[in-house]
Amino acid sequence: MATGLVRLICPNLLCRSMLSVSESMRGKEVICKACGNRVVVPLKSKESNPLAVVPPKEEKSS
């Protein structure tokens, strides 16, 4: 379970390439292969879309 891949999208609006990097790269910078832009790998992101904010699960108490 230690060797997962982190998918992120290049922040370069002219590129927007999907990058797949090793989880060991979390918190570090990677270079986009398509445009050469530096991309910081987020420490934790369950969703592939970093802009998506997932609210915590609410317990229904009715």
Short-list 52, 46, 51, 35, CA closest to 6: 46
Binding of residue 9 to Zn ion (CB under 5 A): no
Cα-Cα-Cα-Cα dihedral of 34, 36, 37, 39, to 10°?
80
Number of residues that bind Zn ion (CB under 5 A): 8
- Taking the complex as a whole, the smallest distance from the CB of residue 35 to Zn ion amounts, in Å, to 3
**12-41: contacts with Zn ion (CB under 5 A):** 12, 15, 17, 32, 34-35, 37
Residue 19, SS3 per DSSP: strand
Interface residues with Zn ion (CB under 5 A)?
A: 10, 12, 15, 17, 32, 34-35, 37
